[in-house]
Amino acid sequence: MTTATHNNIIITGTGSYIPIGVVTNEDFAGTVFYDMDGTAFAGSHEEISEKFLAITGIIERRYASDNQVASDIGAIAAQRAIEDAAINPEEIDQIIVAHDFGDVRKHTIQTDTVPSLASRIKQKLGIENPFCVAYDLLFGCPGWLQGLIQAEAFVRAGQTKNCLVVGTETLSRVIDMYDRDSMIYADGAGACVLQLKEGDHQEGILSSVSATYAKKEAYYLYLGQSNNATADPKIRYIKMLGRKIYEFALTHVPAAMKAALDKIGADVHDLKKIFIHQANEKMDDEIIKRFYRLYKIREVPEGITPMSIHKLGNSSVATIPTLFDQVRKGEGDEKGHCLRPGDLIMFASVGAGMNINAMAYRY
């Protein structure tokens, strides 16, 4: 009797870089925040901080060092993923780098994407193989997960076998210091090596779902002028329509997660972990609740969703890969979570575009 062989696409190594600069909520105490209409918030810092913490769950966040840019920290995460996978870097066929703003140097707000961050990271890694194709992916916060989805497509098509997918961002360089939302954003980088492996049972990427909503939703996240009316109106900073994003995410992300799970005919009770983009704690908690309600389940399983946003903030494309790396290796504040061979897990994200995606994965 012959055993069926599966062509599995597996994450064989992960790596992350958590910047050393810690910025607490108290570090914003001397900042005057303005609403989008230019009106200063009347409340004290303590009141603003309490409300912010209740909504986002963020106590502190990490900022990159002054001499670091996104490609620098992305290269560190990539090198760690390569070492974890024990792969020869010259055998990597593709390097896909997800980001939103490119390399932004400290004390500037000009984005730099020429050459691409992927090319810069390839150079920093010292990879000489010209057939290792390096390119960037712009997909908002779901970019790293979309990189996995895109890499899988190339592997399934027989075009590649080994891919390096990196998510790296320095949002601290594009924030408006007069905008209360600036307290959400952070810096970080995460990476993984994705490889084609034959096996006698199915594992790795099982299914995925992606979508872009670009009518009224297209500019829920955008670049706009400072909330301070006296600031230079020609300079643009990251802005968001928080309430609209919240409502959008609660409607569309649970449905995408369900679609990814239903594609493989899995029982929702078999899910062991959900790695969701660390946008803000209240929104993420509600997304998970609504996902389970789609299956008529009122109580969310305990410990299903690791959370790193409390200490790391929202680093966009880097939140999922850094969190996944920490859980895999039992590092950071996620030591209470663990993954075992055969665990069914899910990745899900939402962000500028407005884009969403979800993936079912057998660990």
Residue 188 has pLDDT above 70, yes or no: yes
Residue 37: pLDDT band (50, 70, 90) is confident
d(CA 344, CA 363): 6
pLDDT of residue 30: 83
Q: What percent of the chain has pLDDT over 70?
A: 98
| Domain 204-362 indexed as CATH 3.40.47.10 | yes
362 vs 147, 192, 273, CA distance in Å?
18, 15, 11
54: number of Cβ within 10 Å: 10
Specify whether the CB–CB gap between 131 and 159 falls below 8 A. Answer: no
Q: DSSP alpha helices (H): ranges in 162-280?
A: 242-263
What is the Cα gyration radius of the chain?
20
Residue 107 has pLDDT above 90, yes or no: no
pLDDT of residue 335: 62
Mean pLDDT along residues 222-246: 92
Q: In CATH terms, are 7-199 and 204-362 the same topology?
A: yes
Mean pLDDT along residues 84-102: 97
294 vs 74, 249, 250, 299, 356, CA distance in Å?
37, 15, 12, 12, 18
pTM, whole model, 2 decimals?
Answer: 0.94
Residue 2 has pLDDT above 60, yes or no: no
Three-class SS state of 172: helix
Could you read off the pLDDT of 44-73 as tens digits, one per residue?
A: 878 888 888 988 999 999 999 999 999 999
Residue 299: pLDDT band (50, 70, 90) is very high
Residues 7-199, CATH architecture: 3-Layer(aba) Sandwich (3.40)
Could you read off the pLDDT of 140-167 as tens digits, one per residue?
A: 999 999 999 999 999 999 989 999 999 9
Residue 262: pLDDT band (50, 70, 90) is very high
d(CA 190, CA 196): 20
Could you read off the pLDDT of 191-233 as tens digits, one per residue?
A: 999 999 988 889 999 999 999 999 999 999 999 999 999 989 8
Residue 307: pLDDT band (50, 70, 90) is very high
Q: How far apart are the first and last CA of the chain?
A: 27
Quickly list DSSP for 31-57.
PPPB-TTSPBP-S-HHHHHHHHHHHH-
Could you tell me which residue, 3 or 146, shows the higher pLDDT?
146
pLDDT of residue 207: 97
Using CB atoms within 10 Å of the CB of residue 46, give its burial: 0 to 12 exposed, 13 to 18 middle, 19+ buried. exposed
| Of residues 194, 186, 122, 120, the one with CA closest to residue 154 | 194
Q: DSSP alpha helices (H): ranges in 44-92?
A: 45-56, 70-85
Domain ranges of the chain: 7-199, 204-362
d(CA 230, CA 240): 20
